[in-house]
Chains A and B, each alone.
Chain A
Amino acid sequence: MKMRRIALFLPFLLVSSSLLMGQEEIIRKRHNYEFTPGENLELELEIDAAEVTLSPNPHESELSVYLEFSETAFDYDIDFDEHNHNISVNFEKKHWMNDDDGEYKTEIEVLLPRTVLLDLDCRIKAGEIDMELGDLSLKRFALRTWAGEVMISFDQANRVSMRSLSLNTKVGETRLKKLGNARFRHAEINNGIGQLDVDFSGLVEEATADVDLDIGATDIFIPEEVGVKLSVHKFLFLSQVNIPHQLRKRGSYYVSDNYQDDEKSVLLKVKPGIGDLRISYH
């Protein structure tokens, strides 16, 4: 009798599982947009949850957005407003409460045009973020994330001077590599909870930067050819600050010897919050 029940249950299981498998459809879709070099483009990415990769496009004047996701879990919308040179990508999770992503990885890959003057605004709620933004023409860059690891690097110099750079990450490790290559004039870096590494390598123009961390360790690297004027706003006794010996205290600032006469310099304001602040200058 028991064997019979098992035997009857088995085909039911096979049939129902095959039906369930059939329902989950994976969408793999790419959207390309061709531009003329020197054109302006405002790109807005609003993503609920995904592994997000951004990198330069081998096709210099083309924007490419690739999405791979389960139909049951996500929905997306790309709006191209040609008149205002604006593209907004909305990638939404359908149900936050039901974790029905399945076994599939949710991926978004954005290949950015190099020759188009970009105003890039990213708001990503959760997910790993890996951005290689070197050799682009970024006029402005803003990133806001709520949870997840963030890795941003500028392996090559930005082709234009960046008017502002704003990074706001709530929870998770944030690593910023060769940020000087971004050629920003002003940067605001704000990390809520988690390790924050900021590498200012590549700086060639004068710039200002505000670095603010609430809880966690902050590592800042500044190459010694860059002049530095640094102010540190400690959070009571809970911030442990490690200032390199090359920076001398002048009033409320720490200043490097080459700061005054060096155009290649950074004025840095750091608020370490609760945690260690280590500044490397070599």
Chain B
Amino acid sequence: MKALNFLILIIVFIFNSIPLISQSRHYDSPLRVKVVNWNKVNPDQKTKLVKHVKDRYMGKWERISFIEGHQTLEKEDALDNSLLVNNGDLTIAGKIDGKAVVINGDVHVLATANVADNIVSINGKIYSESGAKISGELIETVIRRSIALHKRKTSFSSKRSESAYFAPESTYENESIEWTKKYNWSKRKRSKRWNVYSSSRQHENLINENHFVYRYNRVDGLFLGANIPPAHNFRSQPVNLDVNGFIGYGFAGERWRYRGNLELGLYEHGGPILGASIYDLTDSQDEWIIPTQENSLAAALIREDFQDYYRREGFGFYVREQMFPSLEFNLGYYEEDFFSLERNTNWSLFGGDKRFRHNPDIDEGLMKIYKAKISLDTRDDKDSPFSGWFITASGMWNKSHDESAYDYDRFILDLRRYIPLRYGENFDIRLRVGTGRGYMPRQHLFYLGGISTLRGFEYKDFAGDRLVLANIEYRFGNHSRRFRGDSILDPFNFILFFDTGRAWFADSNDKYNQGFKQLSWDLMHSNIGIALTDDEGRVRLNIAKSVDAGPSDLIVTFRINRAF
């Protein structure tokens, strides 16, 4: 019996000592990695970013070894002070008796590693194997390029060293499940980030921002397709290539529609994008009047299609740059054929005997167009802004040539200002001016009247190659202190609005600034109105009446988006 107990004790001792054995590692062999003492590091290598990281994450008096580029600390290696790695991945299998800090690189901590303090990765990720001994915290830090560059501005670093701020892509990103199953930036979330969409996409009309494209209108009928949005957020290299676009089918029009973009992104966010595009689209100029999704609902439910369509087939080249988060610039050259489209369906869920409007003919032909657009957007919200500016200036230039008789330019300036007066009260204003040079084809004329423009008039009552439009809205509601407590107004939000504008043909259109002398207050079309709305001012019931001379009807419309 005693012998048995003795045997058991030995077994227990052996089992419990297994982890001890495996952890009693030998680090006494010489270090194979060539490190440099921090005090002896070349001053050129001590960039602002490196100094900032050192000050932020390492003690002032800490003994630091410095390495530039990818490094591996082998199982037998032991470092008796902290380690700072710049511009490279660090794999730790050995021992570090201090901190491990990596700038612009990932840290891979293997099971045999033993780190006595924090492990920090700047602009990278930390992957830790089970069993690794880490006495401190794992810290992943994002110091973005803009900040890094801002810090660098005061330094003397050369253009070459600028690229040092771009984190090298991890070679381990997709290599093994063991690495990627950890807790950072999981694939699940990636699809959400792919959905992030730059507002600057050119010719985005009629395509929504998701992977699945759907819409309904009177020329295509039900349109279904697949969309690959641009991957703006994955730009991490000096040169980034992206292919995006969509393809879909209109069941009533019995036509395929597509666009393919090849985009070359230079640098990270903020760098210019060079793109080439090939497309065959059902397009419209009326997205500014009613968004495609709301129009699709109106078409499918009540047989009202407010947009007019044409086919645009061609290719183009463009450059786009977002200079600041709020400022964006686009420039492109396009060769495209325009074709008229017919109404192909009259189906809707409701609508009785009503018929869809005829889809107007356009001036067909080939155009070779230069387009430019600049926009400043400081709004606090894209869909329901309460404050900020939104200014867009766009132009297109079309010269006649052998294959095309079109010779015209067109310019549009759209200025919007959202002014919060006090809580629950807003004053919003939009000014839109359009002009051109030469004979403008029908699809590029300006139209006014009806929803989003002159709300007391019939839809597209007025047309011309010159346009002025002003919309003023005063929004107030149940959150407004001025009206709070009033038993009648309390539950509602209201908008008082005034629209005035005119679209006309200039007597002479040789220059873009001609024709405005024809404009006078007497000739402007105006209406006033009131709307009942939700807190955001989006869902609204508008009642508008023209104040022009002569009899006019009340125009009642229901919207699920703001006019501007």
Contacts and interface: CB of A to CB of B under 8 A. Distances in A.
Interface string B123-162: 0001000100000011111111011001000000000000
A4 B3 CA distance: 12
A28 B139 CA distance: 9
Contacts of B192: 79
A1 to B, nearest CB: 11
Contact of A14 (B5, B16, B140, B141): B16
B147 A7 contact: no
Interface stretch (A83-91, A145-153, A211-219): A83-91
A18 interface: yes
A18 B13 CA distance: 13
Contact of A84 (B189, B196, B479): B196
A3 B2 CA distance: 11
B484 interface: yes
A14 B12 contact: yes
Interface stretch (A29-37, A95-103, A130-138, A192-200): A29-37
A165 B481 CA distance: 16
Contact of B147 (A35, A59, A76, A253): A35
A225 interface: no
A208 B479 contact: yes
Given A7-B8, A11-B11, A36 B138 contact: no
B130 A25 contact: yes
B142 A33 contact: yes
A76 B8 contact: no
Interface in B44-83: 56
Contacts, number: 104
Interface stretch (B179-187, B512-520, B525-533): B179-187
A11 B12 contact: yes
A29 B4 contact: no
B352 interface: no
A77 B186 CA distance: 6
B177 interface: no
B552 interface: no
A34 B11 CA distance: 53
A232 B15 CA distance: 70
B142 A32 contact: yes
B320 to A, nearest CB: 13
Contact of A18 (B15, B130, B183): B15
A29 B269 contact: no
A262 interface: no
A189 to B, nearest CB: 15
Nearest to B130: A25
Given A78-B185, A82-B233, A229 B485 contact: yes
A186 B1 contact: no
What does DSSP make chain A's interface, helix, strand, loop or mixed?
strand
Interface in B196-252: 196, 198, 232-233
Interface in A155-204: 163, 185-186
A82 B144 contact: yes
A15 interface: yes
B141 A29 contact: no
Q: How large is the interface on B (under 10, 10 to 19, 20 to 34, 35 or more residues)?
A: 35 or more
Given A7-B4, A18-B16, A36-B146, A29 B481 contact: no
Chain B interface, >50% SS class: mixed
Contacts of A18: 15-16, 19
A256 B120 CA distance: 56
Contacts of A253: 485
Contacts of B255: none
B30 interface: no
Contacts of B146: 36
Interface in A85-129: 85, 88, 90
B142 A11 contact: no
B481 A28 contact: no
A271 to B, nearest CB: 14
A3 B196 contact: no
A66 interface: yes
B183 A90 contact: no
B196 to A, nearest CB: 6
A36 B149 CA distance: 12
B25 interface: no
A261 B485 CA distance: 17
B188 interface: yes
Contact of A30 (B138, B196, B232, B479): B138
A48 interface: no
Given A18-B15, A30-B139, 9 more contacts: A4-B4, A10-B8, A11-B11, A14-B16, A34-B143, A34-B144, A81-B193, A208-B423, A208-B479
12 contacts: A3-B1, A11-B8, A11-B11, A27-B183, A30-B138, A33-B141, A34-B141, A36-B147, A59-B56, A77-B186, A81-B233, A208-B484
